[in-house]
Structure 1
Amino acid sequence: MKRLFFCLFLLPFFTYSQVNKDSLLNVWKNSSKNKERLNAVNKLIWNVYMVTQPDSAFYYANLQYNLAKKIGDEKSMAKSIEGQGVSKAQKGNYEESKIFFEKSLDVFKKLNDQSAIARNLDFLATTYCKMGSYEKAISMYEKAFLIAKTTKDIRRQSSLYGNRAVIHQKQGQLNQAIECFLKSIKLAKQLLKSSKEGYYPKLNIANAYHNIGNIYTVINDKEKALKYYFKSIKINEKNNFDKYLILNFLSLADFYLSELNLDKALYYNKKSLSKAIEINSPIDIVKNESNIALIYFKKERIKEAQAMIERCIEAVKNSTDKQLIAEVYFISSKIQNNKQTSILNAQKTFDLAYEIGDVQLLKKASYFLYKIYKKENNLDKALEMYEVFVEMRDSLSGDEIKRLKYQQEYLQKAKEDSIINSTKHKFQQSRIKDKELQIQNEIYIKRILIFTVLLVIGVLFLIIKNGISSKKYQKEEYQKLLTQIHLLNTNKKSEISESIVLESDIKINKEIINNQVGNKLNDTDWKIINLICSSPTMAYKEIGAQVFLSVDGVKSSFKKMYDLFEINATGRNKKLALAIKLIKLSEEND
């Protein structure tokens, strides 16, 4: 099973700047200057607590809000509300984080702070994405992108391209996803060259590499998937982006799990889990523990697997991250001993995946349910799930998803009762087999067509190559034969022109030649022999005119002589070869 752990270009305030926590706390508690205190607490929230201790970040953001309100600093008030939203998102409380972002967005709109408006729209879009509301997320991203483009905010544009790509990826639109990731990388590299800012561009590049690795995992290009995963890891390790190393290691664990390399999968899962515990990221802890539960199950450590997955299910009960819930329940369905519980959990995964439009999850859940229903002889349900699986698989391979159409069809089917009669069993079984056979035949036909095209191209190439070689060979043979005739005539002290027409006749020993071929030559043949010995390059038409014979008759005479004298030269060179042979036979008896 391949799960995809997406690096959203989320919360661009995450930094790991080296700051002195004690010094900041001292300023916050003891400074008499409110601006200094607000600046210090802002750094405490974002640079110290946000990644590792989101609850503490929320606490200090609340204190920041109270102080800002007291002195009438609306911008700092909005910034503190934004910080509260981010801390809630860190813990997976997306409904609450959405409310905070909407509040901070309203304040920034009032202040007409375009950069902050784009940032909060980006946060809201990412929150909607995590909640599975892709259409709302896309709308927010588009609004944020328009502002970022107007204000020439390259950093925000890079982040937005990356986040938009993640939605394309979730919806199975892999070509569009790759295109957006490459744009994000291009802008990030441009930002690296044009400014001293290095943190955000490097983070965006690392995230894009990770997600491109996910795409190559989907299309089963293992070599490229690993290449991009490790490119992302290299950047994240070099810059201490621990939050994102968690997802790097998690994706590697799942990659090796799909390869059934359980030891390597467990190694990377434990690395990821260790980082998640270190920075206190509950969502990432659940992701890792659910993966480890599946590995334990495959290693036949059943009790440990079941205990761990139950703990994960308990942890996501109050979560609003529908994709995380779906993934945990899907793993639970694979581990359960009770078939009914397994079906219920898989169905829950299917329903959530359908609700958020996640093609990958729909594909996995539908195929899993198809196998269970088929085994249980629930053939109507089996066929329904198999059709969904084929549609999702084709959608991924064709890079198109017809999610809205599928939702309508599924809702229609959900209203209908699925009652299986014993008289329908064989018919339904046959339909499933026919469907499977149809898919196999389509694949076979495609392969045959590809092979045929390649074969035709190969044959044409050989024909052309042989034709060129043949022409070259004939030309070389022609020159050699002309040279031989020239030498023979020189020996007889005869002059030769460029067309090899001799000034004096060559003496042909008729007796010797007749003996050679058993007196099978007629008068016309002898006339032709005399002509070609004097002028070997003479054309058929010219020869025919002189011996009062048609061109076909001349050709027939030549064919007979070629056979009698065993002439093996090619094409037009046969006449030259025949002339040489006749001259040589006559010379041998002079």
Structure 2
Amino acid sequence: MNLNSILKIVLLYIFSTTHFVAQNKLVDLKMVWENSKNPDSIRFNALAEYYKINNQAQPDATLKVLDYYYQLAKEKNNTKELYNVANDRGGIYRLKGELDLSMRYYKEAEKVAVKLNDATLKAIIAGNIGNVYANRKDYKKALQYFTHSFTISKKIKDKNGESRMLSSIGNVYLYIQNYDLALEYYQKALTTIKNIDVPKRSIAVIYLNIGWTNYELKNYKESKIYNEKAIKILEKTNDKFFLISGYSTLARIHLELNQFQLATDYAEKSLTLSKELKVSEFITLSQIIFAQIDLKKGNTEAAKKKGAAILASLDKSASIELKEDLYDVLYKCYQAENNPEKSLEMFQKYTIYKDSIQLEKNKITLVREVIKNEFDDLLQQNELKNEREKAKLESAQLQKTYGIIMGSIILLSLIIFYFTRNLKRDRKKRDELLEEITKLKSNDTTNLVVNSNEFQLSREKIEVFINKKLNDTDWNVLNILLKEPDISNKEIAEKAFMSVDGIGSSLRRMYLYFDIKETKYKKIALIMEAIKASS
């Protein structure tokens, strides 16, 4: 027996043993929840654990168990468990793409959360409803729910909840193709949960989102790294819906890189799971990737057969993106075999869906303008609302006793003194930083006599320092800051002939490159680091 055969047997044994242990655990859980002699809390915990383990591995089987869960919760008149059942059902149907059913169950859960007046449950369900709106491409409504959930989570100091919503807000920016902001919010989501214990799945999902964003930006190497990190986690947690996303993205990446065997391997993994979960959209996507691989390899006959087979069984509700990809493959196949009639037919249909996608992109551009600052505006509204409520409460308390009024006056005086002192200190700090920049530019530390106006940044040294290539926009912004370190974003935009949003995106990117910490004078700190790197 050769080494490969032995290895296959060992791997098969490991898989069979793991599968057997998992199955045994599910059987044990069933015995617990079906035993009416067990306390209710034990039975409900067993049902919740089954959902946690099996909701992505076997969604249809889990839905049947949720029917039992619902009947038991109803029989025991347990409102909290009725919330859990409704929320869990909504989650499975959303992953399956059945959004109307998903929203129906999420709305049921929302009513229960309001009835219980439980802040944590309200935050969770608001985020889940936001996800359905995002899937429906109602991004403004989605953002409203995500912001509401984020505000509640922040108020109750739920870092995991904050992270989920930051990631969801990142998803909205990804959908409307504002990739810089998407990546910024995903990084915020990771930072928020950096030092706390969270489900590994949460981290994996953020990795998938970062991977897909980089794929859209054609940063295939970066996308591959994050998708592989996600898959490493998801293969252990057995979250099959998310695994399909990772596998299909990796298949596309390797196809773009002309690494056909790897592309085929990942497409096969994606197809296997898609068929197991019985989700037609995923199945069609995997099959189209196979056809694209054959076409790119020059096997046009094989690609045409695969494309024709997909077309014959194509679901009418399939997305326009899938249809565009399919007709593109068929058009190129018929063109390659000099079949002008079929080639023209496929090209016309391809053009229809391509135009539809372009129309959708035009709509997204309009949406992007509408909700560009929606998140910050909504947060400010919530903060103002909280401040008004706080002021109203303080006003009522002030009317009770003279002592409270005097205390408030004293407190206000202290606050004014504090901010005045801080303002003076900040101005002094700014002047010191500007003076330090002047010294750095004139090379005082090396006793070289150089005109400070003639100091020039070194792009090569800076790129070595940050271990990245600077794009032309970032380089232009640095040179503007070299001359005027405390210039405003608006003034930079005018000098660079760019939008204020573009300048803001460039600065945020460079703050990460140079590891600039939170400070009121981040632009000054940035150019100081650039000067040091250039020296």
TM-score, normalising length from structure 1?
0.52
SS class of match (1:336): helix
Aligned counterparts, 1:498-577, within 5 A? none
1:309 aligns to what?
310
Quote the offset at 1:342 in angstroms: 3.8
Structure 1 window deviating more from structure 2 (146-155 vs 30-39): it is 30-39
Note the alpha carbon deviations across 1:548-576, whole angstroms, 9 max, x for none.
xxxxxxxxxxxxxxxxxxxxxxxxxxxxx
2:216 aligns to what?
218
1:44 aligns to what?
50
How far apart are the structure 1 equivalents of 2:313 and 2:167? 29
How far apart are the structure 2 equivalents of 1:151 and 1:241? 29
Describe the shift of the 1:19–1:349 C-alpha distance in structure 2 as closer, same or farther (beyond 3 A): farther
2:186 aligns to what?
181
8 Å contact from structure 1 (residues 294, 335) kept in 2:
yes
Question: 2:138 matched to 1:107?
Answer: no
Quote the offset at 1:355 in angstroms: 4.5
Residue type at the aligned position of 2:325: I
Aligned counterparts, 1:426-465, within 5 A? none
SS class of match (1:84): helix
How far apart are the structure 1 equivalents of 2:76 and 2:87? 18
Match of 1:286 among 284, 287, 295: 284
Aligned counterparts, 1:114-193, within 5 A? 114-191=119-196
Note the alpha carbon deviations across 1:445-488, whole angstroms, 9 max, x for none.
xxxxxxxxxxxxxxxxxxxxxx989xxxxxxxxxxxxxxxxxxx
8 Å contact from structure 1 (residues 125, 137) kept in 2:
yes
Describe the shift of the 1:74–1:356 C-alpha distance in structure 2 as closer, same or farther (beyond 3 A): farther
Match of 1:55 among 45, 51, 60: 60
Quote the offset at 1:82 in angstroms: 1.6
Question: 2:266 matched to 1:268?
Answer: yes
How far apart are the structure 2 equivalents of 1:205 and 1:34? 32
Quote the offset at 1:290 in angstroms: 2.6
Note the alpha carbon deviations across 1:214-252, whole angstroms, 9 max, x for none.
333333334333333333334444555544332222111
Note the alpha carbon deviations across 1:392-447, whole angstroms, 9 max, x for none.
8xx9xxxx955899xxxxxxxxxxxxxxxxxxxxxxxxxxxxxxxxxxxxxxxxxx
Describe the shift of the 1:72–1:210 C-alpha distance in structure 2 as closer, same or farther (beyond 3 A): closer
Describe the shift of the 1:105–1:346 C-alpha distance in structure 2 as closer, same or farther (beyond 3 A): farther
2:31 aligns to what?
26
1:334 aligns to what?
328
Question: 2:201 matched to 1:203?
Answer: yes
8 Å contact from structure 1 (residues 134, 356) kept in 2:
no
SS class of match (1:253): helix
How far apart are the structure 1 equivalents of 2:217 and 2:97? 30
Structure 1 window deviating more from structure 2 (291-300 vs 344-353): it is 344-353
How far apart are the structure 1 equivalents of 2:323 and 2:261? 24
Match of 2:248 among 250, 260, 274: 250
Structure 1 window deviating more from structure 2 (155-164 vs 217-226): it is 217-226
Question: 2:64 matched to 1:70?
Answer: no
How far apart are the structure 2 equivalents of 1:163 and 1:247? 16
Aligned counterparts, 1:461-476, within 5 A? none
Quote the offset at 1:133 in angstroms: 1.6
Note the alpha carbon deviations across 1:1-33, whole angstroms, 9 max, x for none.
xxxxxxxxxxxxxxx999711112122333234
Describe the shift of the 1:354–1:242 C-alpha distance in structure 2 as closer, same or farther (beyond 3 A): same
SS class of match (2:258): coil
How far apart are the structure 1 equivalents of 2:44 and 2:142? 32
Structure 1's unaligned 5+ residue stretches are: 1-15, 192-196, 319-323, 360-391, 406-466, 470-590
SS class of match (1:313): coil
8 Å contact from structure 1 (residues 313, 328) kept in 2:
no
Quote the offset at 1:101 in angstroms: 0.4
Residue type at the aligned position of 2:327: S
Q: CA RMSD in A?
A: 3.4
Quote the offset at 1:260 in angstroms: 3.5
Note the alpha carbon deviations across 1:307-365, whole angstroms, 9 max, x for none.
44326632xx34xxxxx612211112202344345433542454366448786xxxxxx
SS class of match (1:190): coil
How far apart are the structure 1 equivalents of 2:22 and 2:213? 32
Note the alpha carbon deviations across 1:522-571, whole angstroms, 9 max, x for none.
xxxxxxxxxxxxxxxxxxxxxxxxxxxxxxxxxxxxxxxxxxxxxxxxxx
Residue type at the aligned position of 2:211: G
Quote the offset at 1:139 in angstroms: 1.1
1:472 aligns to what?
none
Describe the shift of the 1:183–1:18 C-alpha distance in structure 2 as closer, same or farther (beyond 3 A): farther
8 Å contact from structure 2 (residues 32, 43) kept in 1:
yes
8 Å contact from structure 1 (residues 290, 308) kept in 2:
no
Describe the shift of the 1:41–1:216 C-alpha distance in structure 2 as closer, same or farther (beyond 3 A): closer
How far apart are the structure 1 equivalents of 2:31 and 2:359? 52
8 Å contact from structure 1 (residues 118, 144) kept in 2:
yes
8 Å contact from structure 2 (residues 284, 310) kept in 1:
no
8 Å contact from structure 2 (residues 57, 240) kept in 1:
no
Aligned counterparts, 1:224-239, within 5 A? 224-237=222-235
1:80 aligns to what?
85
Answer with 1 or 2: which has the greater Rg. 1
How far apart are the structure 2 equivalents of 1:238 and 1:25? 22
2:293 aligns to what?
295
Equivalent pairs, count:
343
How far apart are the structure 1 equivalents of 2:195 and 2:22? 22
SS class of match (2:34): helix
SS class of match (2:193): helix
How far apart are the structure 2 equivalents of 1:149 and 1:17? 36
Note the alpha carbon deviations across 1:241-267, whole angstroms, 9 max, x for none.
544332222111111222333333222
How far apart are the structure 1 equivalents of 2:170 and 2:287? 27
Note the alpha carbon deviations across 1:71-93, whole angstroms, 9 max, x for none.
21111112112222122123210
SS class of match (2:319): helix
How far apart are the structure 2 equivalents of 1:327 and 1:84? 28
Quote the offset at 1:138 in angstroms: 0.9
8 Å contact from structure 1 (residues 289, 312) kept in 2:
no
Residue type at the aligned position of 1:140: Y
8 Å contact from structure 2 (residues 292, 303) kept in 1:
no
Quote the offset at 1:147 in angstroms: 0.8
8 Å contact from structure 2 (residues 95, 241) kept in 1:
no
